[in-house]
Structure 1
Amino acid sequence: MKTWKTWGVVAVSGLLIVLSWITGWDWLMIAAAAVAGWPIAVSAVQALRIRMISIDLLVIVAAVGALFINNYWESAAVTFLFALGKALERATMNRTRKALSDLVDSAPETATKLNEDGTTEVVELWELVPGDTVLVKNGEQIPVDGRVISGHGGVDEATITGESVPAEKAEGSEVFAGTWLRAGLLRVEAIGIGADSTLAKIIHRVEDAQDDKAKTQTFLERFSKWYTPGVMVAALAVGLITRNTELALTLLVIACPGALVISIPVSIVAGIGRAAKDGVLIKGGEYLENAARVDAVVVDKTGTLTNGRPELTDVEVLDPAYTANEILLLAARAETASEHPLAEAIIRGAENRGLVVEMVEKAEPVTGRGIRALVDGRTVTVGSAELLDHTPDATRILELNNLGRTAMYVGIDGRAAGIVAVADTIRADAPAAIKALHDKGVKVIMATGDARLVAENVAAQLGVDEVRAELMPEDKLVIVKELQAQGHTVAMVGDGVNDTPALAQADIGVAMGAAGSPAAIETADIALMADRLPRLPYALGLAKRTVNTMRINIGIALLTVAILLAGVLFGGVTMSIGMLVHEASVLLVIAIAMLLLRPTLTDTVPVATATSAPTRELIRP
């Protein structure tokens, strides 16, 4: 309704101007000025009530003054062009907020509830309670945050993570409200409903962020607060000195700082909106400006640069009577009796090679050494040389350990038959992310609690600039402070638990994989919804583009005012021409800001390989 009213005023005013040209009746021009000027006058009065001299007041004073000197065309033209500019400005600002409106529109309203007797019914979201089971069919929207109880399918999570490729979901998987099931059938236990869902938190966060003011915007608003009354005083002085009322009124019009005032908020809205569309939540304008200045990133290793869990990397045969698969299968079966993380890695590695790992018959953990088990009548040990009857050549074990891998002997009846080694593996997208950061001139510091040898091996494979190893959480805080003391603007990427002090100290705290962590969405300065490291350089690059856009727009606004002032002083610029150029500059500023809405995300992930990354040696139980 408001849109129709806005454009209705513009249409009626424009029609009256055309009719005045055709008939030559001045009263139609006065009516056109009144129709277009009335909403402007109301806005000016509302601003005065809160002791604010707005741009609207400048326009109204100029328009009324033009009527008093019988310059009806200038009065109508000024108000009509200003009203037209406002209508176009509102329309384009709505366009820049489309990323948020898309999120709001994606919020589900109903769900198919699965009752205890096996029947289903469609209910409103508010009728659900945590613990209810909802049924989601192929092509339907997932209505709640929850956990998959049964079923299998591919879920389009673009509204949450910005990922275009559907994520595979099975029993135990997390799902989010507002996403779409593109294949399969899922039964989901409701956990987050309505306002408690991740989507609702994202919408709330983006709304707050788009309204949050950057430091530059705050400065310009303070500037315009004094600039606008200053223009009125200057115009009055010019009128009194020159005795030229039309010149004074023209100065009022051409000095309107409209493009200057709109240049920052429209850029912030567009930048934050584009980021949200791509699964990156930026807390607000101030943090967007800070992110644009980041030139040093401190990154935790485990779970950020690496996958965060041990994987089988090597299987070597020492006794030619056995094959590599036989060695691995015996080791895996022995490890079925262990709950150690390394045991899980060996079993998973065997299963990935297509081996069937059956439970062991009898086993005995040996504290600090490994495990001894009875497998098919043979005594199998996995662990250190102390579990063997004969001490083997340790050369290969030491070589693997020097590479940062945890290597263990596989013994059969007291003799070393082979070696298995496990290690944390580098994330497939980590090398590309580090390179992208370097391309942007950002220094990358890896900070980890792991052993120095382990950390240096990871650093060598990734090409990070600096390695800090064997750290306590408080040591990471010291690193951030050191970098800031050196003049760096620092971003800290961590898991938000043991890295909390450093995240709080950093200029920008970054949370990865925040889709599953509502707390991270609320607290992080930048939240990467997808667990994708390349989104970090993308976010920093988008922030820099947004700030550059702000600067360009400020330059255009100031240049426009300077050119118009020169035009007035040297003649040739009238009120109507000044308003036309002024409104054109406003629309140009908005159009440039809208370029930020173009999709530029291209963080394709290379195919994961078995690249080994070192990890701290784990002491066996």
Structure 2
Amino acid sequence: MWAMILASIVGGIPIMIQAYQALRNKVISIELLVSIAVIGAFFIGEYYESGIVTFLFLFGAYLERRTIEKTRKSVKSLVEMAPTTALLVDESGEAEEVDIEFVEKEDRLLVKTGSKVPVDGLVLVGEGFVDEATITGESFPVKKKVGDHVFAGTILNNGTLQIEAQRVGEDTTFGKIIELVEEAQDSKSVMEKFINKFSKYYTPVVLIFALVTYLFTQDIRLAITILVLGCPGALVIGVPVSNVTGIGNGAKHGVLIKGGEVMDRMNQVDTMVFDKTGTLTQGTTAVTTFISLEEEEEKSLAYLMAIEKESDHPLAKAIVAYLGEKNIRNPYPVQSTTVLEGRGIQAIVQEEEVLIGNERLLKEQALTIAPKTQKEIQAIKEQGNSIVLVTVSGELRFVIGVSDEIRPEAKKALMKLRKMGIKRFVMLTGDNQITAQAVATQLGIDEVKAELLPADKVKEVQKLKDTGHIVAFVGDGINDSPSIALADIGIAMGSGTDVAVETSDIVLMRSSFDELVHAFGLTRATIFNMRQNIGISLATVGLLFVGLFAGFIYMASGMFVHEASILFVILNGLRLMKFRVK
């Protein structure tokens, strides 16, 4: 008996402190219910019940803390992987180890075999294979050579690199991933917000119910037992565990989900809208057709090379690679360049105007295309190529066909998504209608809108939303950022670019359709898991009250069942850690 009295006091004090702190903030908490029940049981001489109740309640709280810690391991492991030192190369070529805080932009750093890349940077010297699992979730090493980008926190498996620091500290992709996942796990889902609001009203109702029961029955033991059994512990812990575990699973597999509200919205998506270049296709374009319409083409080719070398667009890179193979140089400096959104580039070289772009650009400039050339362009488009037209001083000089390989996993992934509940697939692209339709036909996409400017894509997304669809827009996170921001869910296919991380709701770090399938499946599984936990919690409370009034549930046994339900919803939530789409 004395042991139980001591247990009641030692266990009850921290519970009562928490209840008092909640009351100071005008919150009637679960701890208040338990505190009143323990004090009441203590003063009527039910020391065994009061001791067991305090132990079980504290043990349940301990399990909750351990669970949250376990589900946050994905973030902790990321933080532990953050590099703390770097080898700084001085002007004489000597490398000195310094703390990462002292590294600045444009510093030259040495990375040895087996060590972590300390910053986001550009490879200046050397080559090697880098494990980028911390960034992409993919442990297969990636070869890096001069001119390639490397990311902080990745590991150089073999080789030696000298890199130039471009982003340091919290500005690195790795730093932003850590920040993003931490914020996401702290954010609350719609269900979690509802449960928190529900518990604020539910707890006072239990108090009133216990008081009314005592007034009618004069049975203090029954009233105290109602307070114990009425604690919504499983209800309060079940939803957050599912939310945090689901986000942790995503981070582990290269899918960054920005919080519980994103989970809710993604689960409701019925329409997925895709950009074409770099999303449905690889983004690794190549020139397949090059038609010259002039005999003395050397100067025009040099103009083209000079302008396209200044662009990062996939089509420009393909043209530069093609001209490089033909040993075309660019001796002429570009005097000015104007990017014409969704159409191409207007530049001045050697006082001559050069236009590089699509057919829309030529129409706007009132430039005509000969019937023979029109037929050639039509034939190139029918083969699934994008068209690039080049004019110099108002005359069409080159017709270029550029192809972009469809992602090999895209078709299978879209079939999976359709089986999982996506009803409609739409492609919005700035490319021509024939090329876009060829890609859509291969992938089984329902609707195609081609030759669109970024502003036109925004209008199309808004139209879909206005007709009642819940829309997810999947793009590269750069040119499509307005559409990504407008959609109900913005998904960036990109290796953690700044714009992708900032504007999207979900970032697919490997730019993989398998990640897209995992993201959709994970959100559906997480929401279903939350609903399961809510059902288990409410059913347990209901059964406990039935058992209490039927006479086969008492204070201690009821508290045991109550805490067992908490453990059950925790274990149910933790199942999400091993979730993979079948």
Say whether 1:566 aligns with 2:546. Answer: yes
Equivalent residue runs for 1:319-398 within 5 Å: 338-339=304-305, 345=318, 348=321, 358=327
Change (3 A) 1:68 1:261: same
Give the Cα separation in 2 of the matches to 1:437 and 1:299: 13
Q: 2:455 aligns with which of 471, 474, 479?
A: 474
Show the counterpart of 1:48.
23
Match of 1:211 in 2: 186
Which residue does 1:35 correspond to in 2?
10
* Gap change, CA 1:440 and 1:314, over 3 Å in 2: farther
Q: Which residue does the alignment assign to 1:7?
A: none
Once the 2 structures are TM-superposed, how far is the Cα of residue 438 of structure 1 from its aligned partner? 1.9
Whether 1:464 and 2:439 are equivalent positions in the alignment is no
**Aligned position for 1:534:** 514
Q: Decide whether the 8 Å contact of 1:337 with 1:360 is kept in 2.
A: no
Q: Name the counterpart of 1:553.
A: 533
CA-based RMSD of the aligned residues comes to 3.2
Matches within 5 A, 1:565-604: 565-598=545-578, 600=580
Distance 1:113 1:491 in 2: 44
How far the C-alpha of 1:447 sits from its partner, in A, is 0.5
Cα distance in 1 for residues equivalent to 2:283 and 2:554: 68
Query: 1:16 maps to what in 2?
Result: none
- Distance in 1, matches of 2:155 and 2:18, equals 44
Paired residue type of 1:153: G
Residues 180 and 361 of structure 1, relative CA distance in 2, 3 Å threshold: closer
Structure 1, residues 395-431: CA drift from partner, whole Å, max 9, x if none?
Answer: 88754442233699xxxxxxxxxx9954232223332
1:481-516 C-alpha deviation (Å, 9 max, x unpaired): 22223322111122344433322221111122142x
Matched, 1:70 2:45: yes
Contact 2:255–2:509, Cα closer than 8 Å, also in 1:
yes
- How far is the alpha carbon of 1:39 from its aligned partner? 1.3
TM score, norm. by length of structure 1: 0.79
Contact 1:347 1:357 in 2 (8 A): no
TM-superposed deviation, 1:129: 1.2
Find the partner of 2:475 among 489, 494, 500.
494
Structure 1 residue 128 corresponds to structure 2 residue 99: no
In 1, the alpha carbon distance for the partners of 2:467 and 2:372 equals 52
> What are the equivalent positions in structure 2 for 1:152-301 lying under 5 Å apart?
152-301=127-276
Q: Deviations over 1:46-102 (max 9, x none)?
A: 111111111111111111111111111001000011111111121111111111111
User: In structure 2, what residue type is equivalent to 1:112?
Assistant: L
- 1:381 maps to none
Aligned to 1:484: 465
Residue 572 and residue 470 in structure 1: after superposition, are their counterparts in 2 closer, same or farther (change >3 A)? same
Tell me if structure 2 keeps the 8 A contact 1:335–1:343: no
- 1:151 Cα offset (Å): 1.1
1:428 maps to which of 385, 408, 418: 408
Distance change in 2, residues 1:348/1:477 (3 Å): closer
Give the distance between the partners of 2:538 and 2:15, measured in 1 at CA: 24
Decide whether the 8 Å contact of 1:145 with 1:193 is kept in 2.
Answer: yes
Aligned identity (percent) is 45
Q: Contact conserved, 1:345 with 1:422, CA < 8 A, in 2? A: yes
Letter in 1 for 2:432: A
The equivalent residue for 1:19 is none
Q: Which amino acid aligns with 2:150?
A: V
Match of 1:150 in 2: 125
Task: Identify the residue that residue 311 of structure 1 maps to in structure 2.
Answer: 286
**Deviation readout 1:106-126 (Å, 9 max, x if unpaired):** 111111111111111111111
The corresponding residue for 1:507 is 488
2:481 maps to a residue whose letter is T
Which range moved further: 294-303 or 488-497?
Answer: 488-497
Decide which of 91, 97, 104 is 2:79's aligned counterpart: 104
* C-alpha distance 153-361 of structure 1, shift in aligned 2 (>3 A): closer
3-state SS in 2 of match to 1:220: helix
Q: In terms of Rg, which structure is larger?
A: 1
Distance 2:23 2:72 in 1: 29
CA gap of 1:518–1:501, structure 2 versus 1, over 3 A, is closer
SS of corresponding position for 1:135: strand
CA distance in 2, matches of 1:360, 1:40: 77
Across the two proteins, how many residue pairs are aligned to each other?
532
Tell me, yes or no, if the aligned pair for 1:283 and 1:526 is still in contact at 8 Å: yes
Equivalent AA in structure 2 for residue 146 of structure 1: G
Deviation at 1:570, TM superposition (A): 0.2
1-structure distance, mates of 2:213, 2:452: 68
Equivalent position SS for 2:451 = coil
TM-score (norm 2): 0.84
Give the conservation status (yes or no) of the 8 Å contact 1:278–1:601: no
